[in-house]
A = this chain, B = another copy of it.
Amino acid sequence: MRASKLTRERAVAAQRRPAGVLLSLVTIIAAPLTLSLCGLERLDAQEASPLAGFSPSASSRQVEIEQRLQSSISIERIREHLKWLSSRPHLPGSEGTRLTVEYLQEQLESFGIPTETVRYDAYLPAPVSVSLELVEPVLESISTTEDRIEEDPYTEVTDLHPGWSGYSPSGEATGQVVYGHFGSEDDLQRLVDLGIELEGKILLLRNFSTGEGRKVANAQRFGAAGVVLYTDPAEDGYPFGDVYPDGNWRPPSSIMRRSINFLPFGGDPLSPGWASKPGARRLQPEDVPLPRIPVLPVSYRSAERILSLLQGPVAPDDWQGALPLTYKIGPGPAKLRLRTEMDNRDRPMLNVLGRLEGATQPDQWVLLGNHHDAWIYGAGDPSSGTAALLELARVIASMAQEGIRPDRTLIFAFWDAEEMLLGGSTEWVEDHEEELLEKLVACINMDSAVFNPDRPLSVAAHPLLHELFRDASRQVPDPRTEKSTFDIWLDLQNRFRQVPGVDGWGEFFDPTRELSEPRIFESPYDDAAPFFYYLGLPASDMYYGADYGMYHSIYENFHWMETVVDPTFEYHGVMAQLQGLVALRLANATLLQLDFANEAHYWKLAYQDLHQVAEARDQVVPLLQQALQLLDSWEEEAEALELKMKLLLEDDLASVPSAQLVDLNQQLNRATRDFRRLEPHPEIPAQRNLFSGSSFDFENVSGGTLPGLRFALDRGDLARAESEAGLYVEALRRRLEGLRRIRSTVRALHSGERPLSEEVKQ
């Protein structure tokens, strides 16, 4: 019903659509006639200004390619993929995953994409059984499973899928309960300051705000015997809208499962920093800081029962949640017995990698990623993205077979074990570090495609890629309005800018200010993380709507997707288009359009932020003074280069020999390596991106921007800060000189001179 209503509105609206705002989704399946019509519309607009990074003739070709791409994506095929992929649980190492991997390989090969399945091993968790009992003041079992919902057939097996936390050890803990808010270090210290004993207690902690790994690491450090996690409706539940099955918000029995991880490295815990290919050297589990105390996630209904039996001080005002009771701290009288039996052991991780060789620059790679493992059915996370990427691969491959092959090589990557430890992607990155540093242009990762189209599209990307995403989104029509995805993205972000998503809004976001263009978070996560933090390369992730509602529960299934989230699958189509447009722009650009000026802007923000932090603590880092001048010069140089490249492109490059163009593109690509640490930081070796570090789960790592400097300043180690500042200044110089060299290459090409090849090749 919703679809037909949309169709009618769209048909009426078609007459009014301004040129340049592209095809309606109604036309996506229809094809040829509409395509040519839309093509004409678009070409009119394009003649005035070619796509950024494209010469006029390349731009015309690219516009046609993109129209073809957008009109060829079949939401019906995405729906079928999703239905298949989410028809069974597919936890890493399970039979479901094996079947999924077969399906992915078969599908990719059926599209004509050469595909291999690559295995790495990892120490991976799985549950055997869990239980939670109140032993005081009453003896009572606390539910660890989710409610069956009559109309949702996927919930028939709730008993087989209790809540559990990845990497919780097997164990038993009995103790009085203390409510500890989000379990941040500040939260637990506040309890201690209030005179609350935490030793031997079971901490009841809310999800969100602080990574689960940090929560548990903090709980351990403060002496807790166990941790019970739950999602408070203040963060996800009825205050936001109807709960499932009536709406898209978390119902009372729903459990959010996540992995508990506070290792300084992603990937297999037993092979930190190297690839765990079968037979590779491995550490022993007991030598690695995995959680030592049992951890269990429960629903907010179960948490309400426990909270209702806590006495002691009333929790601070900002610790009160949205359950209908007075949150108290305890300890007790509620006393819990928590039992977890786990089967954590080595299991294979299976990445599926399809490769479409580039027509003219095969040694430059653009990666389109997504993971394929899920907590249970994973209809949102990740299978909505898996389904969309599969369909995108089909369309691109089919065009290639007709001769419209991307200039650069595309790699379609379906990773395993993201949920547990960003496993498959990290090991593959470790395995191919040198080659990726040589060849990879960018990793455009999807993760979940759609969770909630009533909440803003969320894109996290390296600052070099921001404008590219915005540009692409202008070209994707929103399914429910006459607006573009760009416009809806902006509207929804402004509407919800006081309500951060799970990943927040980035470091420098001011929620009080109206946005004039969509905000892109500057530090991606998910499987983009090893590319971004470890390799230091351009990477991104994206999903529509935040990780809320059914996220990581048994309700995150095909019935939910079909009845509540995206009944027409049009938003899956939006996401496939967006990932495809960004990847194909990068794959086909005449000159790689990397936004060095925006990158400089973010570095400046990071610098100012760090400067304020240091100033507030009276910390002086003399060497850092030099950075500001270099940042200004970089920004100017980037703008000058952009202008020069634009002029070169406008000449349509007829006079530029192709080899020199390839060379110039390689220079542009190599410039993105400027901010990778040459030597790893001894304490945070996985954080090799000088610009941004992940604070998500690592214990004792503040993360955020300029992580090495921040790490030193947080510890008050000014000598270390000075040497870190040296690395930054050196990198800034490298960047500035690099951009100057590229500009002189561009100038030479433009004037028809032969560039000084020695200089170019340096």
Contacts and interface: CB of A to CB of B under 8 A. Distances in A.
Interface stretch (A59-67, A163-171, A320-328, A692-700): A320-328
Contacts of A317: 239-240, 496, 498-499
Interface string A222-253: 00000000000100001111110001010000
Chain A interface main SS type: loop
Nearest to A320: B239
B240 A324 contact: no
A interface, size bucket: 20 to 34
A314 interface: yes
A318 B499 CA distance: 10
Given A240-B320, A320-B239, A326 B499 contact: no
A275 B247 CA distance: 59
Contacts of A324: 233, 238, 322-324
Nearest to A242: B326
Contacts of A233: 324
Contacts of A323: 324
Nearest to A454: B314
Nearest to A328: B242
A241 B499 contact: no
Contacts of A239: 317, 320, 326-327
A541 to B, nearest CB: 25
Interface string A616-658: 0000000000000000000000000000000000000000000
A71 to B, nearest CB: 34
Nearest to A304: B324
Nearest to A316: B495
Interface string A519-531: 0000000000000
Given A317-B499, A499-B317, A241 B326 contact: yes
Contacts of A242: 314, 326
A301 to B, nearest CB: 11
Contacts of A318: 498
A318 B496 CA distance: 11
Given A240-B317, A314-B241, A317-B499, A322 B322 contact: yes
A105 to B, nearest CB: 43
A464 B318 CA distance: 35
A713 B524 CA distance: 49
Most chain B beta-carbon contacts within 10 A, residue among A233, A317, A323: A317
Contacts of A314: 240-242, 247
Interface in A274-328: 314, 317-318, 320, 322-327
A277 B670 CA distance: 91
A242 B328 CA distance: 9
Nearest to A327: B239
Interface in A463-496: 496
Nearest to A496: B317
Contacts of A498: 317-318
Contacts of A496: 317
A596 B613 CA distance: 41
Contacts of A322: 322, 324
B499 A238 contact: no
A327 B247 CA distance: 13
Contacts of A240: 314, 317, 320, 326
A325 B242 CA distance: 8
Nearest to A321: B239
Contact of A326 (B238, B326, B327): B238
Interface in A500-545: none
A249 B327 CA distance: 13
Nearest to A247: B326
A282 to B, nearest CB: 48
A233 B324 CA distance: 9
Most chain B beta-carbon contacts within 10 A, residue among A233, A241, A323: A241
User: Which 8 residue pairs across A and B have the least CB separation, nearest first?
Assistant: A239-B320, A324-B324, A241-B314, A238-B326, A242-B326, A238-B325, A241-B326, A317-B499
Given A238-B324, A239-B326, A239-B327, 5 more contacts: A233-B324, A240-B320, A241-B314, A243-B326, A323-B324
Interface of A: 233, 238-243, 247, 249, 314, 317-318, 320, 322-327, 496, 498-499
11 contacts: A238-B326, A239-B317, A239-B326, A239-B327, A240-B320, A240-B326, A242-B326, A247-B326, A317-B499, A318-B498, A324-B324
